[in-house]
Amino acid sequence: MIDFALARRMMVDGQVRTSDVTDLRIIAAMLELPRERFVSAADTDLAYLDTDIPAIGVAADKPERHLLKPMVLAKLVQAAAVKADDRVLVVGCATGYSAALLSRLARSVVALEQNPVLVRLARDNLEAVGAGNVTVVTGPLTEGWPPDAPYDVVFIDGATETMPRTLCPQLKDGGRLVAVVGRAPMGRAMLYCSVAGDVSGRPIFDAAAPLLPGFAAPPAFVF
């Protein structure tokens, strides 16, 4: 039987600390959260590997969703510089692991998901780990969640092929948006900042992640 506490420690020591993640709040949260709870029962032995883990297999006509690999998740969260009084939007929360991590750092988290199966799982998981400052909401991922905007941080829990322009207006002045931009196996983690309504971005590290539904680039016109 797997010693999950030991697996968490090995994940943090071997994947997170070695990737220049120095925020002790992130490290403490990742040591505490039972990542195995957020994957399917068949995949618990994979929960702490250095890879994107399937969160659940949903209906055949809908994309499978994943937990971001620990290193990518931790570095994205660190780049977002989440403060204790921040309000955070997680786009594509899947079963809730990233939202649970961010709930340990921020004042409140809105976790957006459009798949009803995942919505139920996320609510159950977040309640089980005591993430009482997370609200799970249902709607199209590409639209964000305007009712509670603006946000200090928008965290895209997966990849997008283009700059997520539809989400940028939901940032506060000084707000940050982090995402992996590009299609696997190529991509870059990006940090976007909003200043007086203008949003600009810069690459922070090379990364790849599974594409979120609705975030593919529009087809290019070919002559």
Q: What is the mean pLDDT of residues 141-168?
A: 96
Q: Which domains does the chain have, with CATH numbers?
A: 4-206 (3.40.50.150)
CB 90 within 8 A of CB 110: yes
Alpha helix ranges (H) inside the chain: 4-11, 24-32, 70-80, 97-103, 116-128
Q: What is the mean pLDDT of residues 54-75?
A: 77
pLDDT band at 54 (very low <50, low <70, confident <90, very high): confident
CB 79 within 8 A of CB 99: no
Q: What is the mean pLDDT of residues 96-104?
A: 98
132, 64, 70, 188: CA torsion to nearest 10 = -110
CB neighbours (10 Å) of residue 151? 26
- Cα distances from 4 to residues 7, 18, 31, 37, 71, in angstroms, run 5, 20, 10, 10, 18
Q: Is the pLDDT of residue 174 over 80?
A: yes
- Cα distances from 223 to residues 57, 217, 218, 219, in angstroms, run 39, 18, 16, 13
Enter the pTM of the model.
Answer: 0.94
Residue identified by tokens 């207006």 is 169
Cα–Cα distance, 2 to 58 (Å, whole number)? 26
Angle at 216 between CA 214 and CA 221, to 5 degrees: 125
**Rg (alpha carbons) of the chain, rounded to whole number:** 16
Amino acid letter for position 221: F
pLDDT band at 185 (very low <50, low <70, confident <90, very high): confident
pLDDT of residue 91: 98
Report the percentage of the chain scoring pLDDT > 90.
Answer: 84
